[in-house]
A and B are shown apart, each in its own frame.
Chain A
Amino acid sequence: MSTGTSTTQPPAGPVSPEAAASDPVDPTLVGTTATAAERRGIRVPWRFIGGRVAFYLFTAWAAITINFFLPRMMKGDAVDAYMARSQGQLQPEAEKALRALFGLDTSVPLWQQYLDYWGMLLHGDLGVSISTGMAPVGDAIASALPWTLGLVGVATIISFAVGTGLGAVIGWRRGGRLDALVPITTFMGTVPYFWLGLIFIAVFSTLLGWFPAGHAYELGVEPGWNMAFIGEVISHAALPVITIVIASVGGWVLGMRNMMLTVLDEDYITVAQAKGMPNRRVIWRYAARNAVLPQIQSFALALGFIVGGTIVMEMVFSYPGIGLLLLSATNAKDFALMQGIFLVLVLAVLVANILADIAYAILDPRTRQTEA
């Protein structure tokens, strides 16, 4: 039996001044690394967030650089044809901007072109789009972006909530009848988004007439904050949202169920139940809360996939978002618009990633802990 303190071994870790002064030494303070539990409000994990932001800045730079090099790597004929087509219709400044964008002025050294490109970007100048009547690329994107954000945002939130909740319940009732839902939802996830959308349009729109077949609102209705318009928007968005949700919910269900199974095997769940905690609290406040953390991490990674799916969905439903814009730009070989869209998409994904990281940092106390 060792005594409280030995003369040869100093207490490990910092000892608070009060404890050192008083005698005898409080045994709970010796041999631990923490002296007292402090609660100073939410501790912001600056290092963690700082690291992530640094990474995203790097990714943004990488995306911009890829964008810079793409037209220069491709065979010249595509770009030349593009310029030839738009020859008569461009203002001189616009033409100059495009030539800079595509690196057609071989007299300018590459690094200079790179700096000029950055200059253009920081001024918000993404070039001019020939497929939308010579409008600046930025304008074309700005009018389409809100539709996409609305669609993606709503669909993702619903899919995440439904999928995670369902997965938690299925994991809890393992071996029950609900288990059959897992292969069903997974099957629905293997069906290609766009095909599902096409089928839904065929069935629910053309045949049954429940939902409108496309676009965000009927032509002729005045856009604005009035009930008629909002009603239109909702009814037109319903089918695309439902399609995205059905196609993507399978992934959330599966992931959440697997995590629940792993978490429910942990000892702290057994302790909670042994303490007499009602099952409802155990499943939601203990098990699901821990199981959802990896889901949030995979959420950030799934964003790229979600974006891809939404783009195609817009093409299927003729929804006036970025996806449809990209499609028409691709068909018209409107390179400036395509690159501008790519850039905006990447930046949007990065912002969403940052938000997901912040949410994760808030929810997972361990990230806050390691900062201390």
Chain B
Amino acid sequence: MTTLEFTNVTKIYNVRGSGQIKALDDVSFTLESRKTIGLVGQSGSGKSTIAKILTQLEVPTRGEVLLDGAPIRRSGKGLRRYRQQLRMVFQDPFASLNPYHSIRHHIERPLRLDKVVPRDQVDDEVRRLLDRVRLDPDAILERRPHELSGGQRQRVAIARALASRPALLVADEPVSMLDVSIRLGVLNLLADLQREEGLGMLYITHDLATARHFSDEILVLNQGRVVERGPADDVILHPKDPYTRELRAASPDPEEFFRTASAQAAASTHSLGGMR
């Protein structure tokens, strides 16, 4: 059981000439194995900043991040261990893979760096990982990213993230740049993997519906502050914060649409009789 505590983190950026931007304001949450947290917010709400801090691309201005109770290290063996435990799946499936290298290279590198398996088993492990993300190794291994579809690339990115057998996974809008028709497939894959591997997952998204579907707990982020948190169903069905209510109202609801559409159709057939 691995726990990551994001405690009272504030992040302030200094912008040359225009002062400061507070990207995060006193944000706290806890990632645990076997649990998914959904982080919901619009563009500019601070979601990506949280992802950057988690992958140590940024440093909190205030507050701290604890892995299993100890502050995360920024160098040496502690950094190594942290990196092995927490991996990220990026938003843009094309940009997150090096266009020059084959898929085999992408999956092998973390295996070799973290010495996950002995050298002679690396090839087998690569194949196993691709199988787990439901890709055919023989068709994919020697290809380069531009020869794959968006969905395939994102599965490769997931396989790469799982290579080092992390305990925690951060998925930063993993399906936002995919065709709508394949989003569900990739999300279901993530959910299955999380269940099978017992991962703790942070699912960052702007889409309320999928957040509700896949998360145990939801955090709503607005301009850097957590305005609402709670079990997924509670937050979505009974939102307390006005911002959450607005978000929910902005999501198109198919049932609502058909209800109003049929009501309008009924109303217009009535007025047509008047021959306007």
Q: Direct A–B touching in the complex (beta carbon < 8 Å)?
A: yes
Interface residues of A (CB under 8 A from B): 1-2, 6-9, 47
A240 to B82, CA, bound (A): 68
Identify the closest chain A residue to B243 (Cβ).
Answer: A8
| Contact flags B213-253 to A (C-beta < 8 A → 1, else 0) | 00000000011000100000000000001110010011000
Contact between B250 and A8, CB atoms less than 8 A apart: no
Contact between A6 and B242, CB atoms less than 8 A apart: yes
User: Which of the four size classes fits the interface of chain B?
Assistant: 10 to 19
Knowing that A1-B249, A6-B243, A9-B243 touch, tell me 11 more A-B residue pairs with CB under 8 angstroms: A2-B246, A2-B250, A6-B242, A6-B246, A7-B242, A8-B222, A8-B227, A8-B242, A9-B222, A9-B223, A47-B17
A8 to B17, CA, bound (A): 28
Q: Could you pull out 17 A-B pairs where Cβ atoms are within 8 angstroms?
A: A1-B249, A2-B246, A2-B249, A2-B250, A6-B242, A6-B243, A6-B246, A7-B242, A8-B222, A8-B227, A8-B241, A8-B242, A8-B243, A9-B222, A9-B223, A9-B243, A47-B17
A319 to B265, CA, bound (A): 89
Q: How far is the CB of A49 from chain B (nearest CB, A)?
A: 16
A9 to B246, CA, bound (A): 11
A338 to B194, CA, bound (A): 74
Q: How far is the CB of B173 from chain A (nearest CB, A)?
A: 22
Q: How far is the CB of B224 from chain A (nearest CB, A)?
A: 13
A2 to B17, CA, bound (A): 33
- Interface secondary structure of A, over-half rule: loop
- By a CB distance below 8 angstroms, the chain A residues around B241 are 8
Q: How far is the CB of B10 from chain A (nearest CB, A)?
A: 19
A8 to B249, CA, bound (A): 15
A78 to B223, CA, bound (A): 70
Q: How far is the CB of B210 from chain A (nearest CB, A)?
A: 21
Identify the closest chain B residue to A2 (Cβ).
Answer: B246
Q: How far is the CB of B252 from chain A (nearest CB, A)?
A: 12
Identify the closest chain B residue to A47 (Cβ).
Answer: B17
A69 to B40, CA, bound (A): 62
- By a CB distance below 8 angstroms, the chain B residues around A1 are 249
A2 to B222, CA, bound (A): 16
- By a CB distance below 8 angstroms, the chain A residues around B227 are 8
Q: How far is the CB of A273 from chain B (nearest CB, A)?
A: 32
- By a CB distance below 8 angstroms, the chain B residues around A7 are 242
Most buried by B among A1, A8, A9, A47: A8
Identify the closest chain A residue to B16 (Cβ).
Answer: A47
A9 to B224, CA, bound (A): 12
A9 to B17, CA, bound (A): 25
- By a CB distance below 8 angstroms, the chain B residues around A2 are 246, 249-250
- By a CB distance below 8 angstroms, the chain A residues around B223 are 9
Which 8 pairs show the lowest CB-CB distances between chains A and B?
Answer: A8-B242, A8-B243, A2-B246, A6-B242, A6-B246, A7-B242, A9-B243, A2-B250
Q: How far is the CB of B17 from chain A (nearest CB, A)?
A: 8
| Contact flags B98-139 to A (C-beta < 8 A → 1, else 0) | 000000000000000000000000000000000000000000
